[in-house]
Chains A and B, each alone.
Chain A
Amino acid sequence: AQSVTQLGSHVSVSEGALVLLRCNYSSSVPPYLFWYVQYPNQGLQLLLKYTTGATLVKGINGFEAEFKKSETSFHLTKPSAHMSDAAEYFCAVSGSAGDMRFGAGTRLTVKP
């Protein structure tokens, strides 16, 4: 079975500081991994995805994530936080049957 664990339900950073949101996965098949962002009262928007190939994946809004098989991790980073980055972030893995399994989410707060 596939699953993801997001470490830290809340992360707070100052504007301009590094953003690091942690995700560890479990998968019985080569994983397809995703990061989504959700703004209040909206659906989810894909930030980036890893399927095969390059392990460092670049996404929208300056975010990137690195797939580390040895650590079963797919952490999301952004060098410099912006106020507009405040939102909830979800890590997800595609199950072997094609279903998506989401983590519990991490709420990012950006302080001025």
Chain B
Amino acid sequence: KAGVTQTPRYLIKTRGQQVTLSCSPISGHRSVSWYQQTPGQGLQFLFEYFSETQRNKGNFPGRFSGRQFSNSRSEMNVSTLELGDSALYLCASSIGLAGGRTYNEQFFGPGTRLTVL
């Protein structure tokens, strides 16, 4: 099986722009989660999608949004970029179970490194 893929791998943007990151989960996985990783804040949970619905959401401003398509692929959008949005954005997929409690293994993609200038 192919692993989780994320595109693009690297991205450079300027303040005020918006960006869309893409994640393709492992075939058959219905849950996709997004995380932001920075040296200062570590790994922070952004949101999780399951069957095209946002099931969980972390503590991020509304500039961060996402969606999931019927084939389970997911996109994450950040509008009005700020310097502090520079980070590695990780996507993880899992089989997902109705009810929300995650104990299936999450498989991570390699991440998209976003640099905001």
Residues of A within 8 A of B (CB): 32, 36, 41-46, 49, 51, 90, 94-105
Contacts and interface: CB of A to CB of B under 8 A. Distances in A.
Given A41-B110, A43-B111, A99-B48, A51 B90 contact: no
Interface stretch (B11-19, B68-76, B79-87, B98-106): B98-106
Contacts of B45: 99-102
Contacts of A42: 110-111
B101 A46 contact: no
B33 A45 contact: no
Contacts of B101: 32, 94, 96-98
A57 to B, nearest CB: 13
A100 B102 contact: yes
Interface of B: 4, 33, 35, 42-45, 48, 55-56, 58, 90, 92, 99-103, 105-111
Contacts of B90: 43-44
B92 to A, nearest CB: 8
Main secondary structure of the interface of A (DSSP, over half): loop
B109 A98 contact: no
A105 B41 CA distance: 11
Contacts of B55: 97-98
Nearest to B9: A41
A46 B93 CA distance: 12
A98 B48 CA distance: 9
B42 A94 contact: no
A100 B103 contact: no
Contacts of B92: 43-44, 100
Contacts of A32: 101-103
Contacts of B48: 98-99
A21 to B, nearest CB: 15
B110 to A, nearest CB: 5
Given A43-B111, A99-B56, A100-B33, A94 B43 contact: no
